[in-house]
Amino acid sequence: MAWQIRLMYWGSVITGGLVIGIIARGLMMAKFGTRAPVRFDLGVSLIVSSILGPIIWALRGWLDPMLAHSDLSLLSISLNTFLIVAGIIVLRRLIGFEHPTGYGGQTPEDAPEPRLKRRLSGGIGSEILRLSANDHFVDVATTAGQETLRLRLADAIAEMEPVRGICTHRSHWVALSAITGLERENGGKVFIRLSNGDRVPVSRKYRSGLEMAGWIERDHDLPER
């Protein structure tokens, strides 16, 4: 292929791969959140390769005058695409662009409990999803319901170790494992959606942490709070 044709080909493949990857990642994030990295990465790889593979097959047969579609194996191209995409996704996770990094670690049953659960009446067997400041109290949302504790938000967050979480607002902290998606409203307001259906506001001050975790694109304009 001439260099102009090669430029068109690779530009189309890379652009298509990025767009499909963003869509696939959004679908898997809505389904699994950060709780199942293996299924998340496998799902993204399958979606991207099943769509991008046929696109590559069509472009090769269309742009390369030396080839016909009958000379190209769609199955082989799709398999190679899957392996390349999966390799990129695994590498991104291992070097820290995805949360959690890596595929090992403790299961929820083996992980040590946060100290804050000892303060809850129904702490055993429940998972803490969200902490919200309420004057001199903290509302603690769990899989079993909600309780209010007389405690500063900063102290409550400190007692959540080793649970991985993030502040989305000066008055709100959420467990990363509880996040299932992102919602936007007219006017630019952004909310994190949790597994129990709660919607937690996101402010500009705290969006960098969510950007690093991959939940928000860097060019979104969030309201100041």
The reported pLDDT for the residue numbered 133 is 95
The reported pLDDT for the residue numbered 110 is 47
102-128 per-position pLDDT tens digit: 676 544 444 568 899 888 886 555 789
For the segment 201-213, the average pLDDT, to the nearest whole number, is 78
50-90 per-position pLDDT tens digit: 999 999 999 888 887 676 666 788 899 999 999 999 999 99
12-28 per-position pLDDT tens digit: 999 999 999 999 988 88
Question: pTM value?
Answer: 0.51
Report the alpha-carbon distance of residue 152 to residue 191 in Å, rounded: 23
25-51 per-position pLDDT tens digit: 888 877 776 667 888 899 999 999 999
Confidence of residue 224 (pLDDT cuts 50, 70, 90): very low
Domains and CATH numbers, the chain: 3-94 (no CATH), 115-212 (2.40.50.1020)
pLDDT at 180 over 90: no
